[in-house]
Each structure stands twice: as C-alpha cells, then as structure tokens.
C-alpha cells in the first residue's frame, strides 16, 4: 500500500525526499507504484494533475482539505491501494488560523 504524506516546504525541508508527481501521466504513476508498492510519497500541494485526479479528488472535505484515510484508485486498469496522511504541523497551522478568525 502506497502512503501519500501531504506536506509543504514550510514544514518539510528534505527536498530530496519529495516525490514529484505533478507532471506524471497515469502510466508514469503506475510505474512509480510498481517500483515500490509500500513506498511513502512525500507530496507537495500543486494544481491540477493526473495524480490529483486519481489520488486526491474525492478525498477532501467540503472546504477542500484532505480527509486522512485508506483509499483505492485505478491506474491503467490496475487497482492501487493507498492511504493519505497530512503533515500534522500543516494541519495544526490551519486549525490555528481558523480559530483566530472566530
């Protein structure tokens, strides 16, 4: 099962560990999965991409924020199981910002 760890450059400075997914095609994503089916992908927020369509859409709340959990998708007809984890620092920062607006 692939683990997608959603983070930002503010909270995660190990750039060499970032998995660059925003320019990959569906086939490219499948190849990445096949390299290591138990990998952790550290992924930064980005605009529309095949990755976003296949792994992120449908895994967000009404405000557009990630819902951590276990999911599956299809890449080139093959089922891929994955889980999404959000960086706790990023989540805490967002919660604090929302509280300060109240």
Question: What does the alpha-carbon distance between residue 39 and residue 89 come to, in Å, rounded to a whole number?
Answer: 22
Number of alpha carbons in the 13 Å side-chain half-sphere of residue 37 = 7
Q: Where do the structural domains in the chain lie, given as residue ranges?
A: 2-101
pLDDT tens track, the chain, 102 positions: 999 999 877 766 777 787 889 999 999 999 999 999 999 999 988 889 999 999 999 999 887 788 999 999 999 999 999 999 988 766 666 666 666 766
Question: What does the alpha-carbon distance between residue 102 and residue 6 come to, in Å, rounded to a whole number?
Answer: 26
H or E stretch covering 26: helix 26-35
At 11, phi and psi to the nearest 5? -105, -10
pTM equals: 0.82
């Amino acid at each position: 099962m692939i683990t997608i760890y959603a983070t930002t450059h503010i909270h995660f400075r190990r750039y060499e560990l970032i998995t660059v997914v925003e320019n990959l095609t569906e086939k490219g994503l499948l190849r990445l999965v096949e390299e290591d089916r138990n990998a952790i992908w550290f992924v930064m927020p980005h605009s529309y991409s095949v990755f976003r369509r296949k792994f992120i859409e449908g895994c967000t709340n009404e405000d557009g924020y990630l819902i951590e959990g276990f999911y599956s998708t299809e890449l080139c007809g093959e089922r891929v199981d994955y889980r999404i984890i959000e960086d706790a620092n990023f989540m805490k920062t967002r919660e604090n910002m929302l509280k300060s607006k109240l």
